[in-house]
Amino acid sequence: MDKITISYKTTNILVEKLKQQENIEVLKQSTFLVSLFSKKKYADVYFHSGSLDEKSIENIINSKMTITNCFASMNEIIAKTKISHEKIKVIYPSINIEYKKPKEVKVKLCEELNINIDTKLILFTAKNFKTSGIKEFLDICSSISYQNLKIIITGEQKQITALQFQLPKYQNLEDKIILLEDYKNIDDLFLASDIFLLPTYNKFFSANVVKAMFCKCVVFLSIENDAKEIVDVFASMDSPTDPSTAFKIDAVLLDKNEMKKIKKQNRKLALEFDINSNLIKINNILENV
């Protein structure tokens, strides 16, 4: 059986699952001597994410098929490489976490953090707090009128330590903020939270948005990020400093039925990006490579 070769800029859940299939082989990187005396080989399928650099463009042009994670990326690739639409497909980032009933997870988390079960939870997490809009997140939270809420901020120790120097500016949030360093069960934070707010400046698709939707969070996201493609107009922020965001969050927190409706809609959409669903999509594509 002829195997389909793949290569990728950065690995992801879908790539790791594909590597376990018998019909898939990761293209080996040529050594300097081999590349010097023989024709360079390219993979049948190239998985692209992030910036479109020269190496990425070379792989895209020479592969039979390119898989990217959003339509904004696809359009950029087509514009810069002039490849045909038939040679590129979009598969949104995959979800591969254990789904547990949010209410049950929240009960345990509230016991752990010693907060009332009726408290609404707003979550922020990112690898880079600054570019992901931590200041803007705190500014928005400062403008929320709803009182019975806690703000959970979780990340690496160095990010949390740096953040603590900014917190004295937000005295009105002093009794609401919960900082969690290197929290192990981060999926449980998504499951327990009511709102995931990400006023990011980062362009590249935030997989945490898909995770938050999968875990039944109401999501608010700045349109700078490519994940805007999967959130509705209400959830979209015109900018990381969009002044209407606090009002929207208040509206959702005050309307239980609307919150419940949005949470269900988000999960229904995110189920389309479950790893098993995405594996079916990619294998259908591979049949025609």
Mean pLDDT by 10 residues, the chain (289 residues): 90 96 88 57 95 95 97 97 96 95 96 96 97 98 97 97 95 96 96 98 97 98 97 96 97 97 97 96 94
Alpha carbon distance 127, 159 (integer Å): 8
Alpha carbon distance 282, 67 (integer Å): 9
Question: What local confidence, expressed as pLDDT, does residue 254 receive?
Answer: 97
Question: What local confidence, expressed as pLDDT, does residue 141 receive?
Answer: 98
Q: DSSP code of 152?
A: E
CB-based contacts of 250, cutoff 8 Å, min separation 6: 144, 145, 146
Q: Which residues are bridge partners to 221 per DSSP?
A: 198, 236
Question: What local confidence, expressed as pLDDT, does residue 35 receive?
Answer: 52
Query: Terminal CA-to-CA distance of the chain, rounded, Å?
Result: 14
Alpha carbon distance 264, 3 (integer Å): 40
Q: What is the reported pTM?
A: 0.93
Q: What angle do CA 141, 236, 181 make, to 5 degrees?
A: 45
